[in-house]
């Protein structure tokens, strides 16, 4: 081999070695995610959140080059997530904190079932385990009319009051039907019966009225329908200091 070729070969080897050293140093200086922590999820699985984010638990991700906003926006599109915060925790952890939407009822909307939370945010059903114990809101007029918003408000007021009264009353309510302009029609679960409640359109009044009426509702079920085996076509609770029942 000529001297010139030896020099060229030596230079080439030197360049390759230098490049490898630079690459190795850059690799060593980069921080890679070796832990992804997910907080706040109650019914949404970690694997579902990671999939929505476009991540894998064993992904090799450069923490410095990680696009936090991009990951956050992806997760925020999940229909059951209300809020999400994504942050980097040095030296090598990615933290995803979420707040799930908490449905309080099923909403019949355009003949389809959706979920709705207490803030009246409507979202699709992803996890059918969530729907089993929820009351159904039905009988609303077409969305966009003034009556739709007003009646939906009343239904939410009623359901929130039922939840505040405890699990027993919550479990007694199968459907809240708003199709009648003068009353809220409620279908009970035990010994299915129709109950009529007043339509209270002011939230400040609704809370007090519905809590009182739901107390009467519980007492009537316990004392008359369960203990006395009373069977009714309907029970009207709209009036003060009286209960009107039509027997079967």
Encode the chain (248 residues) as per-residue pLDDT tens digits.
565 555 655 556 655 544 444 444 443 445 666 788 999 998 899 999 999 988 887 666 776 677 888 899 999 999 999 999 999 887 778 899 999 999 999 999 888 889 999 999 999 888 776 677 899 999 999 888 889 999 999 999 999 999 999 999 999 999 999 999 999 999 998 788 999 999 999 988 999 999 999 999 999 999 999 999 999 999 999 998 899 999 98
Distance CA 75, CA 86 (A): 9
Cα angle for residues 214, 218, 219 (degrees, 5° grid): 115
pTM over 0.85: no
Exposure string for 170-204, b = 16+ CB within 10 A, e = fewer: bebbebbbbeeeebbbbbbeeeebbbbbbbbeeee
Angle formed by the axes of helices 203-220 and 146-164, nearest 10°: 50
Local structure of 83: helix, strand or coil: strand
Look up residue 21 and give its two tokens: 């050293």
Domain extent listing, the chain: 32-100, 103-247
Cα angle for residues 186, 198, 235 (degrees, 5° grid): 50
* Pairing of the two strands 35-39 and 112-117: unpaired
Look up residue 198 and give its two tokens: 């007043």
- Which residues fall within 8 angstroms of residue 133, CB to CB, at 6 or more apart? 170, 171
| pLDDT, tens digit, 9 for 90 and up, residues 81-98 | 999 999 988 777 889 999
Distance CA 71, CA 77 (A): 10
- Which residues fall within 8 angstroms of residue 69, CB to CB, at 6 or more apart? none
Q: Bridge partners of 225?
A: none
What does R_g of the chain's alpha carbons equal in angstroms? 30
Look up residue 109 and give its two tokens: 């909307």
Ramachandran quadrant class, 154 (left: phi over 0; alpha: psi -120 to 50; beta: rest): alpha
* CATH code given to domain 32-100: 3.10.20.310
Contact (CB, 8 A) for 61 and 32: yes
DSSP state of 116: E
Helix (H) or strand (E) holding 245: strand 244-247
CATH number belonging to the domain at 103-247, selected among 3.30.460, 3.40.50, 3.30.1330, 1.10.287: 3.40.50
């Amino acid at each position: 081999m000529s001297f010139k070729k030896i020099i060229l070969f030596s230079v080439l080897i030197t360049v390759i070695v230098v490049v490898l050293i630079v690459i190795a140093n850059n690799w060593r200086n980069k921080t890679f995610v070796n832990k992804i922590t997910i907080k706040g999820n109650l019914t949404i699985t970690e694997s579902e959140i990671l999939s929505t984010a476009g991540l894998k638990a064993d992904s090799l991700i450069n923490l410095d080059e990680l696009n936090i906003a991009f990951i956050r926006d992806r997760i925020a599109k999940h229909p059951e997530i209300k809020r999400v915060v994504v942050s980097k925790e040095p030296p090598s952890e990615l933290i995803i904190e979420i707040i799930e939407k908490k449905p309080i009822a099923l909403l019949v909307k355009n003949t389809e079932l959706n979920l709705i939370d207490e803030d009246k945010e409507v979202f699709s059903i992803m996890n059918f385990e969530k729907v089993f114990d929820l009351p159904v809101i039905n009988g609303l007029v077409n969305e966009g009319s003034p009556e739709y918003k007003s009646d939906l408000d009343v239904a939410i007021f009623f359901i929130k009051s039922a939840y505040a009264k405890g699990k027993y009353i919550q479990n007694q309510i199968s459907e809240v039907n708003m199709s009648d302009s003068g009353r809220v029609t409620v279908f009970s679960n035990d010994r299915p019966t129709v109950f009529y409640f007043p339509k209270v359109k002011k939230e400040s009044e609704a809370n007090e009225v519905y809590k009182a009426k739901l107390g009467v509702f519980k007492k009537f079920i316990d004392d008359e329908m369960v203990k006395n085996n009373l069977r009714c076509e309907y029970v009207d609770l709209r009036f003060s200091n009286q209960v009107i029942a039509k027997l079967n």
